[in-house]
Amino acid sequence: MGDVITILRPGDRSIETRPVRLVRLGLVGLFLFVGIAKLVGWEAMTRTFEEFGYSEDLMLLVGVLETLGAVGLLVPALVPWAALGLCGIMVGAIVSHLVHDPPYRGLPALALLLALATIAWRRFVGAVPPGWVRSGDRWR
């Protein structure tokens, strides 16, 4: 009786389902953790960058970008752009692992890339096809 019906228009980007929101917030926590770990020079991060032959300056740059990307994932207007920026970092991580490690070590970065790309796509394109309606908690 009291259902609210919302009609989506082309380009409506205001829709975010709970699972997508949970994934986005999980990514915020993850990228804050690894970004800050790089910024404070956590031994495991420093060792990995040294083993790959990368400078400490690059590690700090990646740490800053990951931390800013995590904050950007919290700001609705910046979410798709932050997700795309973090996608670029994940592509670099995948390539680094493929070159310097056994290929399976790049799988976590690939999973993060797919999650970030999905978030960016849903924000740029819209969560559901235009013309769908929402009645209560269900899409039709």
Q: Give the pLDDT of residue 15.
A: 59
Q: Is 139 helix (H, G, I), strand (E, B) or coil?
A: strand
Q: Which residues of 84-108 are buried (b: 16+ CB within 10 A; e: fewer)?
A: bbbbebbeebbebbeeeeeeeebee
Q: Is 5 helix (H, G, I), strand (E, B) or coil?
A: strand
- The whole-number average pLDDT for the span 3-15 is 48
Q: Is the pLDDT of residue 92 over 90?
A: yes
Q: Mean pLDDT, the chain, as a whole number? A: 85
The Cα–Cα gap between 54 and 122 comes to 34
- The position carrying tokens 């999650």 is 115
Global confidence as pTM: 0.79
Could you read off the pLDDT of 28-45 as tens digits, one per residue? 999 999 999 999 999 999
Q: Write out the H or E segment, with its range, that includes residue 133.
A: strand 133-135
Domain ranges of the chain: 18-125
Q: Give the pLDDT of residue 127.
A: 53
Could you read off the pLDDT of 81-91 as tens digits, one per residue? 999 999 999 99
Structure tokens at 89: 């970092």
Q: Give the pLDDT of residue 14.
A: 53
